[in-house]
A and B are shown apart, each in its own frame.
Chain A
Amino acid sequence: MKKILLFGQDKEQNQVFSEWLKGEKYQIVTTENFEQVFPFLSLKKYDVLIVDIDFPEIMEHILDLCRRLKKDQKFSEIPITVVAYKKNNKLIASAIEAGVDNFILKPFETKSFLNRLDTIFEHIELKSKGKKILDLNFISYLINLTGEANREDFFELFPVIFNRLIIDKVMGIIGKPIIVIMLKRLGDIIGEDYKFVKEVRFENGKIFLDKVDKVSQEVPVEKLVIAFRDYLHGFLQIVLTLTSNILMDRK
């Protein structure tokens, strides 16, 4: 039985979650007070921590908590799943930066919520076997989200997705020099159709899009999203050819 700790300020919603997760598969503990999350985790071992983050007044505190947990050796292994509203791009970006492992994006129905949770547990399982998982489906989903967003949001969100959800995960395995080469190659291929991707800068293990922003002022955001989706997919495709130790979940 999987033990889940769920935090959310909305008591009613917490009850809804508890109802959904009732059964033999999961054991759920809920709390409305985010200050209790830490003591709860210290007392008992949980398989996953689910945090509903959509509460503007305490949002920053919650993100702080996530950062603290990820930095603390005792808790860093506990996967954190964040529940957030899908249009809240800035929040998603900060959560990714804070190091959370998974997302469940609102609005959702029972079934999609449970499916998502299943996937998350599957990933946790595989991770414990030493595989790196790239949640491709979710990454694509996020990228598509950026398409609905404005230009500013895109340039904020895309580097975070690429850096934290992809590069950070594969860097340890495939090394920096090859990433440099791969990015250059992608710049060459994708750059044939979309010149601006050649301006992607790679420094200190991160990509920066500031130059792309400068040269692509005239380019509509939809086109940017298409180009960078190809860019990202191309990158993942090359990663796939490099090792069997990185898995891509396309579900």
Chain B
Amino acid sequence: MKNTKVTSNIIKYLDEDRLEYLNIRGKPLTKNIKKTNQELQRKLDELSLLYESSKEISYTLDYQELVSIIMDSLYKVVDYQVCASLLFGEEEGKLNIRATHPVSELFIQEVKSKLLESVTYITGRNFFIEEKLSMRIERKGKVQSEEGEHKEKVRSFFNVPLTFQDKLVGMINVSSLKENAFSDDDIRIIYAMANQASMAIERLMTIISTEKSKMEAMVRSMVEGVIMIDTQGEVVIMNPAAKKLLGFNPDKQVTSQQLAQSFQELREDKLFNKETHFTEEEVSKEIYFTKPKPGILYTARSLVKNTKGEKLGLVMTIRDITAEKKVDRMKTEFISTVSHELRTPLSITREGISLVLDKIPGKINKKQDKILSMAKNNIDRLARIISSLLDISKIESGKVELKRGLVNIKRLIEQVASSFEPKTKEKGLELKISLPQEEIEAYAEDDKIIEVFINLLGNALKFTEKGYIEVSAKELENEIECTVKDTGIGLATDDLPRVFGKFQQFGRVDSEGEKGTGLGLSISKGIVEAHHGKIWVESTLGRGSKFIFTLPKYTTCKELFYACINNGIQKAIKMNSKMSLITVAVFELDQLKKKLSQHILDSTLKDIEEMLRNNNCRTGDVVVNKNNQNIVLLNNCDQKNVLKVEGRIKKTLDGYLKDRNLTSKIKLGFGSATYPDDGLYAEKLFNKASKGLM
């Protein structure tokens, strides 16, 4: 009995033991399989999530966006109540708190302090008090009862750092109301994601920086100066050549303020400025500078856009063209001198031939007459070429000084067209004039503009055998556009770029009229450009040509005056001299219109303008009139002299008004300003001169 009991006990014991043994050996196996399965599943989830987020991450370089992506991805795997992020740069921190469930204000405050505490510990920057912090909170509802508020506590949380190049750049916080809300796996996924994000950014940054360094090396070694600013006006690129050309130390960084100031000193502050010039695609300009020694820079500026067409900034190349310009000027001067020297002997020769042709020295026979006539004609032609050459060299050397005033373009066109009418009729052509109803006024020298029209119309007449010639003008938004169109032989596409070159003649036909010099269009181009306009041609061979030129439009009185004053400033800079301006205004024009008859008023205003023109101290000074105000620009005139001139003008005008018994009715206001003493810009000078007039 006892034995059996023992045996059964033993058996029982063994069984138990074996069972337990099996349990121990077996359990871990099934447990292991289960665990491995779970592990696999988790790894898969993790991988797909990482893949998904890394795909998104690699498209963005912006931390703010990156954090958003991470927060969104996190929400898919981790059960949190509040997710917050703190990103910080050199200057300030950006705190973003996103609650996915209704939580109390206290809870949010606790999350915030947990996040800030951690960042403060790690970086040593105190975001609680010292640093600037901007905050954004997105939340879903709020816990209502006060009791609820106090119950709410951050029971689980973790902070995930975002790093870049071994530096902390931000921190993401995930918090929960529940105890033990986050498992090791949750944490691992989140850290893996943050690390991957950091790594992705680091990789991209490396790629970008190597690309950038290649680019920089290229730009640095360029002879031309290159500057790029972004849309914020910050200097992105500025190579040593650019720094040197603008007078900076090539080894030092140039700030946007310094750059702006440098352009301001060149009086070209509008040229490279974020506010004014993000609209135009391309602009090129020659800039005159005086420091360290006088010279000329050629600048070309264009917009930088990305593939989507968004503006990224402005890029400008700068080249010192002082030497080139010098050579060019020498060439022009040479032509000018030679032409001048040719003129005298030529005119003596012509005079001689004329005398012989007029039979003053004695009789000549018909044959002699014919030969001499031919010689005389060709001498005339040569004289024309020489005088054109002189014109062009004047224009090119910038010596030509436009005597600009307000020009009525409509009247001017009618005038020119009427002079061509007999010739067109003779050739059986129709001369069309197409002009708008309203007046077109340009600030230009009328004789020069007439010359352009004569050149263009002359060409049209020469190359058109049938059909019509059309002259037209219209006002566009920013400019006045004039067109001369014909139905003549036209130009070949290949020839178009050379049309405005010197001595270029195309499709010449022997006509009865005078032979061309091949300089007309070249001169026209010079004239138009001196007026800050553009000229170009559109043509189809055999169908006709269309020559178009534009002149700047000044819609308001001020714009016009500013343009004139700027013109004067440019001249003063070139000549390194001073420049003064005097404004003369008629007060209360509206009142005057009631008091005086239109005729008297008009003639008085006209007289005042005329007197200003005629009583000017020197030629080369400019008078511009618009509405009731006149501006007199005096070259090379300092503050002292301008007062003298102003006094003289005042005396003359007062005398004139007295003579006509108008002293009591018409009140005149005077003012003056001098460049550079009173200001560097048109606006400032004008305001100074018209102080008390407005």
Contacts and interface: CB of A to CB of B under 8 A. Distances in A.
A244 B158 CA distance: 6
B210 interface: no
Interface in A223-251: 237-238, 241-245
Interface stretch (A81-89, A104-112, A115-123, A176-184): A176-184
- Most chain B beta carbons < 10 A, residue from A131, A174, A180: A174
A245 B166 contact: no
A173 B159 CA distance: 10
B184 A241 contact: no
Q: Which 8 A/B pairs are nearest by Cβ-Cβ distance?
A: A243-B158, A241-B118, A177-B163, A178-B161, A175-B191, A242-B159, A238-B121, A244-B156
Interface residues of A, number: 30
Contact of A175 (B20, B122, B157, B194): B194
Contacts of B123: 185
Interface stretch (A37-45, A92-100, A144-152): A37-45
A189 interface: yes
A188 interface: yes
B628 interface: no
A189 B159 CA distance: 22
Interface string A154-189: 000000000000000000111111101110110011
A245 B158 contact: yes
Interface in B1-42: 17, 20-21, 23-25, 28, 32
B158 A130 contact: no
A173 B156 contact: no
28 contacts: A42-B24, A43-B24, A44-B20, A44-B21, A73-B28, A130-B183, A173-B158, A173-B184, A173-B188, A173-B191, A175-B161, A175-B194, A175-B195, A176-B195, A177-B195, A177-B198, A181-B122, A184-B166, A185-B121, A188-B124, A237-B121, A238-B122, A242-B118, A242-B158, A242-B159, A243-B158, A243-B159, A245-B184
A43 B124 contact: no
A130 B166 contact: no
A22 interface: no
Contact of A178 (B21, B28, B168): B168
B124 A181 contact: no
Interface of B: 17, 20-21, 23-25, 28, 32, 114, 117-118, 121-124, 154-159, 161, 163, 166-168, 180, 182-184, 187-188, 191, 194-195, 198
Nearest to B155: A244
Contacts, number: 87
A173 B194 CA distance: 12
- Most chain B beta carbons < 10 A, residue from A42, A130, A238, A244: A244
Contacts of A189: 124
B195 A241 contact: no
A241 B124 contact: no
Given A129-B180, A182-B122, A241 B187 contact: no
A25 interface: no
Given A238-B122, A241-B114, 18 more contacts: A42-B25, A43-B17, A130-B180, A173-B187, A174-B161, A176-B195, A180-B166, A181-B167, A181-B168, A238-B121, A241-B118, A241-B121, A242-B158, A242-B159, A244-B154, A244-B155, A244-B156, A244-B157
A39 to B, nearest CB: 11
Given A129-B180, A175-B194, A245 B24 contact: no
Contacts of A242: 118, 158-159, 161
A74 interface: yes
Contacts of B25: 42
A177 B166 contact: yes
B328 to A, nearest CB: 62
Interface string A62-88: 000000000001100000000000000
A73 B124 contact: no
Contact of B28 (A74, A173, A174, A185): A74
B552 to A, nearest CB: 60
Interface of A: 42-45, 73-74, 129-131, 172-178, 180-182, 184-185, 188-189, 237-238, 241-245
Contacts of B195: 175-177
Contacts of B191: 173-175
A180 B167 CA distance: 9
Contacts of B114: 241
A245 B182 contact: yes
Contacts of B183: 130
A245 B121 CA distance: 18
A79 to B, nearest CB: 16
A62 B207 CA distance: 52
A188 B154 CA distance: 31
Nearest to B194: A175
A45 B21 CA distance: 9
A174 to B, nearest CB: 7
Contacts of B17: 43
B498 to A, nearest CB: 65
B159 A241 contact: yes
A243 B157 contact: yes
A181 B161 contact: yes
Contacts of A44: 20-21, 24
Given A43-B21, A238-B121, A172 B158 contact: no
A233 B168 CA distance: 21
Nearest to B114: A241
Contacts of B168: 178, 181
Contacts of B180: 129-131
Contacts of A176: 195
Nearest to A241: B118
Contacts of B163: 177-178, 180-181
Contacts of B121: 185, 237-238, 241
A232 to B, nearest CB: 15
A192 B197 CA distance: 33
Contacts of A184: 166
A45 B24 CA distance: 7
A203 to B, nearest CB: 13
- Most chain B beta carbons < 10 A, residue from A44, A131, A177, A238: A177
A127 to B, nearest CB: 11
Nearest to B199: A177
B653 to A, nearest CB: 79
B124 A130 contact: no
Contacts of A173: 158, 184, 187-188, 191
A167 to B, nearest CB: 15
A43 B16 CA distance: 11
B184 A172 contact: yes
A42 B25 CA distance: 7
Nearest to A189: B124
Nearest to B198: A177
A85 B629 CA distance: 107
Contacts of B158: 173, 242-245
A241 B110 CA distance: 12
A130 B184 contact: yes
Contacts of A180: 163, 166
Nearest to A77: B28
Contacts of B155: 244
Contacts of B124: 185, 188-189
B177 to A, nearest CB: 12
Nearest to A73: B32
A164 B265 CA distance: 66
B188 A172 contact: yes
Contacts of B122: 178, 181-182, 185, 238
Contacts of B118: 238, 241-242
B454 to A, nearest CB: 78
Contacts of B20: 43-45
Contacts of B166: 177, 180-181, 184
Contacts of A175: 161, 191, 194-195
Contact of A243 (B187, B188, B194): B187
A202 B117 CA distance: 25
Contacts of A181: 122, 161, 163, 166-168
